[in-house]
Amino acid sequence: MIDIKRLLEMKKYIPLYKLLRENKEVYASIAPSIVGQFGENISMGQLRTAFRKIGFEEMIEVALFADILTIKEAYEFDKLVNSKEDFYLTSCCCPIWIKMVEKSYPDLFKHMSLSVSPMIASGRFMKRIYSGSKIVFFSPCTAKKVESRDPRVEDAIDLVITYRELNEIFSLLNIDLNNLSEDNINQASFAGRTYARTGGVSLSVKTVVNRIAPDRVISLKAKRIDGIKECKEVLDYLKRGKKIEENFIEGMGCAGGCVGGPETNIDVNEATRIVNEYSEESYIMTPMDNANIIDILEKMGLKDFSDVYYNEEIKDLLTRKKLK
């Protein structure tokens, strides 16, 4: 165990120190884009070891919860898009995109998925399964800090720390990742891990739509947009009543997706390459192949992938609204 009192040397890490000292089970919830952010040769298994040394109970891949959300959104797409005029707006993982549509394009918001982000889903599910636990999310951007304080979902995440701050924490605590042992656990699918970069959400959802509705007449056609300028251009076009060929519109506030976030440590192109390679390492190809989801559902008294969409308790956990 590392002497975490060193965190007190910087005021901004006092909340983390208190969480770790005052709670038995604190989980590190890590965004899919974290891979490669602390060195290309630093494995996720070494990061898991580092978090345990700091005092976290366990490191959880948020990509696992991206898998769960993918199943939900695939069912939604199948129910809502049934003609050439229908279209579906999403990328639940990007609070900038969600807020842009909600605040500036209210007429288009009715086409927007009401799914929480994988970050929020990780917190809600973990707290539902492990009563009394606390969740710290490690993020490529500061927008996730704002999202975590949204009154509709503030129950989920106790603290958000960016990759640059985590780099600072490793330095403060004298943690040399290169010298740590590996504890690699395969929690998420190839598809869920690709949420980290532009196009990952639509790729993931399409794989599930193809599984649950292979005979659909209207197939999923994705438009992938990233960066504020491009997002606004497409939304303005739709606001004027113009039609586009695609029916699944994935928006990301940062160029390249989350790998291009303002609090990342490496170049976006390099990060994209590493994310793609790491995604391909998963022996789980799609969310529908992820037995970890079934394990989670069984802990909640359920047993079928379709419960992600049809079960009311699960639906509440995955929807941007205050829980009762």
Q: What is the pLDDT of residues 21-55, one digit of tens each?
A: 998 899 999 999 999 999 999 999 999 999 999 99
Q: Using the predicted structure, report yes or no on whether residue 322 has a pLDDT greater than 80.
A: yes
- Rounded alpha-carbon distances, angstroms, from residue 174 to 3, 7, 16, 95, 185: 10, 11, 17, 33, 25
Mean pLDDT of the chain: 94
pLDDT at 81: 93
Could you tell me if residue 29 is inside a domain? Answer: yes
pLDDT category at 303 given cuts 50, 70, 90 is confident
Could you tell me if residue 246 is inside a domain? Answer: yes
Could you tell me if residue 62 is inside a domain? Answer: yes
Burial class of 321 by CB neighbour count within 10 A (0 to 12, 13 to 18, 19+): exposed
What torsion, rounded to 10 degrees, do the Cα atoms 237, 239, 240, 246 define? 50
pLDDT category at 297 given cuts 50, 70, 90 is very high
What average pLDDT does this structure show over 269-298? 95
Could you tell me if residue 322 is inside a domain? Answer: no
Could you tell me if residue 88 is inside a domain? Answer: yes
Domain of residue 93 covers 4-317
Q: Using the predicted structure, report yes or no on whether residue 236 has a pLDDT greater than 80.
A: yes
Domain count for the chain, please give it: 1
Reported pTM: 0.96
Could you tell me if residue 276 is inside a domain? Answer: yes
pLDDT at 287: 95
pLDDT category at 165 given cuts 50, 70, 90 is very high
In percent, the amount of the chain with pLDDT more than 70 equals: 100
